[in-house]
Structure 1
Amino acid sequence: MPAIPTAPAPSPSSFLLARRHSLHVSYPSPSSNHQRLPPRLLRLPARPQSAPMSAVARAPASPVAPPAHPTYDLKAVIALALAEDAGDRGDVSCLATIPSDVEAEATFIAKADGVIAGISLADMIFNQVDPSLKVEWFESDGNYVHKGLQFGKVYGCARSIIVAERVVLNFMQRMSGIATLTKAMSDAARPACILETRKTAPGLRLVDKWAVLIGGGKNHRLGLFDMVMIKDNHISVAGGIANAMRSVDQFLQKEKLTIPVEVETRTIEEVKDLLKYAAENKTSLTRIMLDNMAVPLANGDVDVSMLKDAVQLINGRFETEASGNVTIDTVKKIGETGVTYISSGALTHSVKALDISLKIDTELALQVGRRTNRA
């Protein structure tokens, strides 16, 4: 997996706290009533060669890399998710019920149809919890799975698997929900490209945008730093679209910056004003947003006549982006207007998670119970 840009290293105290939580979770503390013994490998008998697997391992697809962000530290996000779960005692349920030396096998099961996303991230989480865990996947990020499919397994310390379980599933279920909706919208919108927005879960911006890529969409700006995007509030304060665009051009020239520039327009008149400025001035403008120009109708359909007029007026001189009133039901009609991009906040701000479970093998659990007098 490609290297992920990291932020400055966390302070020693926060790092040690995260590691202390990790150690609490993986092993009992010296003061606990549990003794650390040499591992007893309580595994199932070897699977007969003729026994079919629930899913056949495929040749792995090329992994979809996360977006490159200059300050986002994905490992720190994982550590925070694990630490908030572990608290200051670790997993007291595991400490109370599962001997430290017991190993297990757990299976990932899709509980609904959808696009799987987060496999690469799950590998990172398992490795961060316990590098000795072994993970096997029968599907790749971006593959479509059906309800009931077993698409992966994890082997190793039972405590470590259970500690990682909820964090892995929280990420995978959210990412898979985003990827599933992105795939559906992308298929319907062609030839237009689907984009998400900055309406992401706080702290999970890169994770949410990664899921969009896995689902076949493209990323809009990552944050406030990688694109100039002039919206209604900027235009109001600047005194109009032409004034706002002039200020942008002067700023970029002064700072010697070459980055994309997008301007939001809400009416045909604003589109005309922007095109007039661009015709009369050397400008850095690259994309025009056509906001709420797909007008919702009472029957659930949309009137795209204004959007079509705007696209024809721009006539390919700049990229175009339709925004507002974009749903799985309206995206096809919006895409047929000829816009370059369609952006939808719904991809990330109100996504339905894909139901996924991770189940420890029941027969193995019974073996453990018999050997420890707990069954």
Structure 2
Amino acid sequence: MTALTLPPMPRLIVEPAVRNALEEDLGRAGDITSDYVVPENTRAQARIAARATGVVSGLDAARAAFRMVDPDLLIGIEKRDGDLIEPGDAICHLDGKARSILTGERVALNFLGHMSGIASAAKSMTDLISHTKAKVTCTRKTTPGLRAFEKHAVRSGGGANHRFGLDDGLLIKDNHIAVAGGVTAAITAARSQAGHMVKIECEVDTLDQLREALDAGAEAILLDNMSPDMLAEAVAINAGRATLEASGGITSDTIKAVAESGVDLISVGWLTHSAPSLDLGLDIDFGD
């Protein structure tokens, strides 16, 4: 079953990261186990299959890993990023040199398992609030070097992306406010230099700060560590003027009440920094 359709990840992003992972794994001498144990011309067929229920993500990276190891490998994709899978479901099939399949296996599974785990976690959270208008979004709490992959995985699970980096979104945090001398001063300074297409989001801890941020012209406001009742009051004060984002230690046990407060976005950092990998495996069948 396909939950949604996502465009492929850009090769310019995928290939350098996958190449680095292969170089890390192969080191200076290559896959000496496969080279010493498996005859060079032995061919095999294999499949990557689910061993747990979840959502697929990371097929672009897995395919790149196998193709970099051996461009002649035949790769048959059975699922797409965003597909729901059950134990035993085939995700892709491989046909070619056994050595090549074995050499690319771990890097491919590392990307697939990690990204599918994030996608599965994102779907579980979005399902919990599907009766509300709120959207689950990720944060910049990502694995260094893998942010684009992890944010793609969040989208695979039906979540939304926050800014990708410090350069594509203006978010005034509590430390910015402290240095600038207050909410109004920080927002005013940001607006004086931001381009006309750049929205300003400001983090607030209190309802008084919320009122000040609204009066200063913030277009989005991050409501940090507020209870559901306080969030509902913030929604009433806002009256639709700015996009409201709830943040701060939100879990599967608390997200429903947060969403029902009426906020627009719910940012969940653990989706990218702590979601467990989805259990996937490669089963190989040696041919002639």
2:216 paired residue among 273, 277, 288: 277
Cα contact 2:142–2:272 (8 A) shared by 1: yes
Cα contact 1:132–1:156 (8 A) shared by 2: yes
Question: What stretches of structure 2 of length at least 5 have no aligned partner?
Answer: none
Query: How far is the alpha carbon of 1:257 from its aligned partner?
Result: 5.3
Give the direction of change, closer, same or farther, for the CA distance of 1:175–1:198 in structure 2 (3 Å limit).
same
1:194 match: secondary structure: strand
Alignment of 1:197-208 (within 5 A): 197-208=139-150
Instruction: Work out the CA distance in 2 between the residues paired with 1:357 and 1:335.
Output: 36
Alignment of 1:138-217 (within 5 A): 138-190=78-130, 191-217=133-159
Give the direction of change, closer, same or farther, for the CA distance of 1:60–1:186 in structure 2 (3 Å limit).
closer
Alignment of 1:313-332 (within 5 A): 313-332=237-256
Alignment of 1:325-340 (within 5 A): 325-340=249-264
What is the aligned partner in structure 1 of residue 235 from structure 2? 311
RMSD between aligned residues: 1.9
Instruction: State whether structure 2 residue 175 is matched by structure 1 residue 251.
Output: no
Query: How far is the alpha carbon of 1:273 from its aligned partner?
Result: 1.3
Instruction: Work out the CA distance in 2 between the residues paired with 1:124 and 1:80.
Output: 12
Instruction: Work out the CA distance in 2 between the residues paired with 1:287 and 1:59.
Output: 33
1:152 match: secondary structure: strand
CA deviations 1:281-311 (Å, max 9, x no partner) are: xxxx3211001013xxxxxxxxx11111011
Instruction: State whether structure 2 residue 153 is matched by structure 1 residue 220.
Output: no
Alignment of 1:29-40 (within 5 A): none
1:347 is matched by which residue type in structure 2? L
Question: What stretches of structure 1 of length at least 5 have no aligned partner?
Answer: 1-57, 279-284, 295-303, 369-375
What is the aligned partner in structure 2 of residue 291 from structure 1? 224
1:155 match: secondary structure: strand
Instruction: Work out the CA distance in 1 between the residues paired with 2:214 and 2:219.
Output: 12
What is the aligned partner in structure 2 of residue 300 from structure 1? none
2:91 match: secondary structure: strand
Give the direction of change, closer, same or farther, for the CA distance of 1:61–1:221 in structure 2 (3 Å limit).
closer
2:40 paired residue among 89, 92, 100: 100
Give the direction of change, closer, same or farther, for the CA distance of 1:234–1:61 in structure 2 (3 Å limit).
closer
Alignment of 1:51-70 (within 5 A): 62-66=5-9
Instruction: Work out the CA distance in 1 between the residues paired with 2:47 and 2:15.
Output: 24
Give the direction of change, closer, same or farther, for the CA distance of 1:179–1:95 in structure 2 (3 Å limit).
same
2:162 match: secondary structure: coil
What is the aligned partner in structure 1 of residue 205 from structure 2? 266
1:218 match: secondary structure: coil
What is the aligned partner in structure 2 of residue 28 from structure 1? none
Instruction: Work out the CA distance in 2 between the residues paired with 1:64 and 1:74.
Output: 13
Query: How far is the alpha carbon of 1:137 from its aligned partner?
Result: 2.4
1:305 is matched by which residue type in structure 2? D
2:61 paired residue among 118, 121, 133: 121
Cα contact 1:60–1:140 (8 A) shared by 2: no
CA deviations 1:313-369 (Å, max 9, x no partner) are: 0111011100012111111111111111000001011111001000111xx3xx65x
1:107 match: secondary structure: strand
Cα contact 2:221–2:244 (8 A) shared by 1: yes
Query: How far is the alpha carbon of 1:109 from its aligned partner?
Result: 1.7
Segments of 4+ moved more than 3 angstroms: 58-66
1:353 paired residue among 273, 277, 280: 277
What is the aligned partner in structure 2 of residue 239 from structure 1? 181
Give the direction of change, closer, same or farther, for the CA distance of 1:257–1:317 in structure 2 (3 Å limit).
closer
Instruction: Work out the CA distance in 2 between the residues paired with 1:339 and 1:60.
Output: 24
Query: How far is the alpha carbon of 1:60 from its aligned partner?
Result: 12
Give the direction of change, closer, same or farther, for the CA distance of 1:61–1:131 in structure 2 (3 Å limit).
farther
Query: How far is the alpha carbon of 1:277 from its aligned partner?
Result: 2.2
Cα contact 1:64–1:213 (8 A) shared by 2: no
What is the aligned partner in structure 2 of residue 20 from structure 1? none
2:164 match: secondary structure: coil
1:342 match: secondary structure: strand
Give the direction of change, closer, same or farther, for the CA distance of 1:94–1:186 in structure 2 (3 Å limit).
same
**TM score, norm. by length of structure 2:** 0.94
Cα contact 2:232–2:261 (8 A) shared by 1: yes
Cα contact 1:65–1:210 (8 A) shared by 2: no
Cα contact 1:178–1:351 (8 A) shared by 2: yes
Instruction: Work out the CA distance in 2 between the residues paired with 1:212 and 1:222.
Output: 12
Give the direction of change, closer, same or farther, for the CA distance of 1:62–1:273 in structure 2 (3 Å limit).
closer
Cα contact 1:189–1:334 (8 A) shared by 2: no
1:185 is matched by which residue type in structure 2? M
1:289 match: secondary structure: strand
Question: Percent same amino acid among aligned pairs?
Answer: 40
What is the aligned partner in structure 1 of residue 265 from structure 2? 341
